[in-house]
Amino acid sequence: MGAGHAHKLYRHGHSPVHALPAHTKLVAVLGFVVAVVSTPREAMWAFGAYALLLAAVALTARIPAAYLLKRLTVEVPFVAFAFLMPFVVPGETTDLLGVTVSVPGLWDAWNVLAKGTLGVGASVLLAATTELRELLLGLQRLGLPPTLVQIASFMVRYGDVITDEMRRMSVARRSRGFEARGVRHWGVLAKSAGALFIRSYERGERVHLAMVSRGYTGTMPVIDEVTATGAQWRRAAALPLTALAVCLLGWTL
């Protein structure tokens, strides 16, 4: 049973950030991102301030910088896109290290890069300090339709089971001398995917049977009541409110 351990983004800990209820953190991250995105790109110092804010949160959560930076690599495709901008965006040009680049393109690249990195940084921090399950409960608490939350939590529960099944099928294929090389073998892979779908579908039916047998009538019973106290809300609000202040300063200065 090659079961994965926890989800890869979560980092176990007992910091004040870990202890906050998930829905307060979700609201805080959303507020922070909105503040960051609405900051004018010319206010470069503001983005430095945002980065410091995130660093402060990471420090409180006792998340090492190296861990955070490694997780930030998820951003790489967007970074590549941002680096293209100075070369493709029309407008007045300037020389940078002997290469001709467009000025509005440079601003656009900076804009995407700075805001993207801050957004990803905030999300990585959220994921590192909140268990997936709590995140889902938090989303439900914030009014996400329960059906969507159910679908997502089944994905969490059965992701590993299905990955395992997929791996077993792959081992079975290879044990009989099959190695996927090129287009000619796509048919076999497609059939495996189909078989996996049927198996998952049948498992879905069995799971539903087990749920009905234990009294499921269409809605998930409430097991964990997630509530946040005023103090917890205030603590979570520290991040977006400071960010808002920085954003307003960015507009006025």
Partner 1 sequence: MTTPPPPSLSFLPSLEVRGLAYAYPDGHQALFGVDLTVERGERVALLGPNGAGKTTLVLHLNGILTAGAGTVAVAGLPVGPANLAEIRRRVGIVFQDPDDQLFMPTVREDVAFGPAAAGLRGAELDAVVRRALERVGMAAYADRPPHHLSFGQRRRVAVATVLAMEPEILVLDEPSSNLDPASRRELADVLRSLNVTVLMVTHDLPYAMELCPRSVILSEGVIAADAPTGELLADEELMRRHRLELPFGFDPTARPTRNPGGH
The site for partner 1 (CB under 8 A) is made up of 1, 3, 5-6, 132-133, 136, 153-154, 156-158, 160-161, 203, 206-207, 209-217, 221-225
Query: For the chain, what is the largest distance between any 2 Cα atoms, rounded to a whole number of angstroms?
Result: 72
Burial grade of 140 (CB within 10 A; 0-12, 13-18, 19 or more):
buried
Angle at 120 between CA 105 and CA 250, to 5 degrees: 60
Comparing CB distances to partner 1, the nearer of 98 and 221 is: 221
Measured distance CA(120)–CA(101) in Å, rounded? 27
What minimum distance in Å lies between the beta carbon of 162 and partner 1? 10
Comparing CB distances to partner 1, the nearer of 60 and 153 is: 153
Which residue type is seen at 106? L
What minimum distance in Å lies between the beta carbon of 192 and partner 1? 20
Which ranges of the chain would DSSP assign to H, the alpha helix? Answer: 16-19, 22-37, 44-60, 65-72, 76-88, 103-129, 132-141, 146-175, 186-213, 230-252
What minimum distance in Å lies between the beta carbon of 133 and partner 1? 4
What minimum distance in Å lies between the beta carbon of 217 and partner 1? 7
Comparing CB distances to partner 1, the nearer of 2 and 187 is: 2
Comparing CB distances to partner 1, the nearer of 8 and 206 is: 206
What minimum distance in Å lies between the beta carbon of 131 and partner 1? 9
Comparing CB distances to partner 1, the nearer of 184 and 214 is: 214
